[in-house]
Amino acid sequence: MKQKAVVIGAGIVGLATARALSLKGLDVTVIEKTDKAVGASIRNFGMVWPIGQPAGELHNRAERSKAIWKDIADSTGLAYSETGSIHAAYYDDEWTVLQELYEIFKAEGREVELLDKKGVIEKSGSVNPDNLMGGLYSASEMIVDPRIAIGNIAEYLAEFLDVKFIWGTAISAVENNKVYTGSAWIGADLIFICSGADFETLYPSLFAGIEITRCKLQMMRFKSSVQGYDLGTSLCGGLSLIHYHSFKAAPSLAALKQRYETEMAEYLRYGIHVMVSQNNLGELTVGDSHEYGLTHDPFDRTAINEMILQYLRQFALISDWKLTQSWNGVYPKMVNGASHLFLHPSDNVYILNGLGGAGMTLSFGLAEECINLL
C-alpha cells in the first residue's frame, strides 16, 4: 500500500511539492482553503527567471524548474514563450555593470549577448531608443500566464499523476499525522505545509521566531491598441540590476546602487524595479513594488503605480498601451538572506515556504530536492 501524503496549499510551491511526492510513489492529496488558487502564485509576471539566480545551486535549481515547466506545458498544451530578457542601459554606470555581468555570465556558461543600441532595438522594437546605450540579452527566460498556468498544473497533476484535490477547505490544526478540516480529521504519513505565510495560523509561535516577513507588491496589466503587437522579449530597466542576487557579482554594482540611493530614493523606499512581460494573449504585465512588513495596507497606492509607469517610459515605448487591470499580491520572504524555509516542526510534518518572489522560478526544482532529502 502506498504511503499517503497531504499537501496544504495549491499555490506553485504546493503544486511542485505534490508533483515531487507523487513521483516518489506516494498517494498525494492537496488541500486548498479557497475554491481555486487566488494568492501570490497567480499575481505575478509569470516569469521563469534563471538570469536572476546566482551561479551554482540556485541557478541549477532554476534551470531544472524551467525544464519541468516545459515538460508540463508540452504535456498539457499550456502556452509558454522562451522570449529571453533584456536589461537595458541608459547611463554609463548601468552600461558598465552590464558589461561586467556579460563577462561573468559568459564565463559561467550562460547564454548571454552584450548588445549595442541597434542590437537591442532589433530584439525588441518596443525599447525606447532615446539615450539607449545597449543591453544585456539572456536567452534563458521563459514566460507563462500564471493565471492559467497554476490551474493547468493542478489539472496535470490530477490527470497524469493521480493527485487528489480538496478545494474550499481550510486546515485549522495539524497533529499526530492528521490534519483537521473543521469537521473531520484526514490522516497522512507525510504532511507538507506549503500555504505561504498562512502557516502562521497553524504554528504561530514558530512563525514568530523565524526571520520571515511579508512582501506586498503592486502590478498592472496593459493591452496594446496595435493589432498583433509583439514585445519581442521581456524588458527590464536599470533598477532591476540591484534587485536580483546574481547581479551582485558585478564589481561596479555598489556604485550604481549608491547613485540610485541619491537620485531615486523614493523608488528604493518602495522597492520599485520595473519589468514588463507579454503573455500568449498579447497582454503586458508591468511591475512592481516591494513593501515589507507583517501587516500591509490592503489598498493600492496610486503614487506607486505612477512611479512604476514613469520609470517604464524611460526604457519602453508605451503610448499605445491601455491599462486593463491593477492589483496587489503578498508573499512571504526570508529576511536573513536565505532562499527558502524548510522546517521539520514535528514527526512527519514539514514546512516549505519563504521563496520570496522566486516561486515560479525555483519551486519545481526545490521541491524535488527537499523530497529527495526525506
State the CATH number of the domain containing residue 196: 3.50.50.60
Q: Do residue 48 and residue 102 come from a single domain?
A: no
For residues 192 and 208, give the distance between their C-alpha atoms in angstroms, rounded to a whole number: 19
- Same domain? 266 vs 296: yes
Assess if residue 73 is contained within a domain.
Answer: no
Q: What is the DSSP letter of 319?
A: T
Does residue 77 lie in a domain region?
Answer: no
Q: Verify that 115 and 237 share a domain, yes or no.
A: yes
Tell me, what's the pLDDT at 266? 97
Query: Do 323 and 350 belong to one domain?
Result: no
In 3D space, the residue among 305, 322, 148 whose CA is nearest the CA of residue 229 turns out to be 322
Exposed/middle/buried for residue 339 (C-beta within 10 Å: 0-12, 13-18, 19+)? middle
Tell me if 75 is assigned to some domain: no
Provide the Cα torsion 75, 78, 82, 86; round to 10°.
Answer: -150
> Is residue 70 a contact partner of residue 151, using CB atoms and an 8 Å limit?
no
Task: Please tell me whether residues 205 and 315 are part of one structural domain.
Answer: no
Judge whether 234 lies within some domain.
yes
Beta bridge partners of 334: 212
Q: How far apart are CA 343 and CA 287, in angstroms?
A: 31
DSSP 212: E
Residue 370 to residues 180, 343, 344: CA-CA distances in angstroms? 24, 10, 11
Residue at 131 is within a domain: yes
CATH number at residue 95: 3.30.9.10
Tell me what pLDDT residue 172 has.
94
> Which residues are CB-contacts of 106 (< 8 A; sequence separation ≥ 6)?
112
Assess contact for 350 and 193: CB atoms under 8 A.
Answer: yes
> Domain of 351?
4-61+146-210+339-372
326 in the same domain as 227: yes
Q: Look at residue 244 and tell me if it is in a domain.
A: yes
**Given this model, what pLDDT does residue 199 score?**
86
User: Cβ distance 359 to 194 under 8 Å?
Assistant: no
CA dihedral 78, 67, 338, 53 (to 10 degrees): -100
Strands (E), 181-320: 185-187, 190-193, 212-224, 234-236, 275-278, 284-287, 291-292
154 lies in the same domain as 241 = no
Verify that 245 and 351 share a domain, yes or no.
no
Answer yes or no: do 157 and 42 share one domain: yes
Residues 45, 156, single domain; the answer is yes
Q: Tell whether 234 and 154 lie within a shared domain.
A: no
Is residue 11 one of the residues assigned to a domain? yes
- What pLDDT digit, counting tens, does each position of 328-348 carry? 999 999 999 999 999 999 999
Give the cell for residue 275: 519589468
**What would the pLDDT profile of 14-56 be if each residue is shown by its tens digit?**
999 999 999 999 999 999 999 999 988 999 999 999 999 999 9
3-state secondary structure of 372: helix
| Residue 37 CA: distances (Å) to CA of 34, 127, 194, 349 | 7, 34, 12, 23
Same domain, yes or no, for 266 and 293? yes
Q: Is 217 inside any structural domain?
A: yes
CA quadruple 248, 252, 253, 254: dihedral sign = positive
Question: For the chain, which ranges sit under pLDDT 70?
Answer: none
Q: Domains in the chain: how many in total?
A: 2
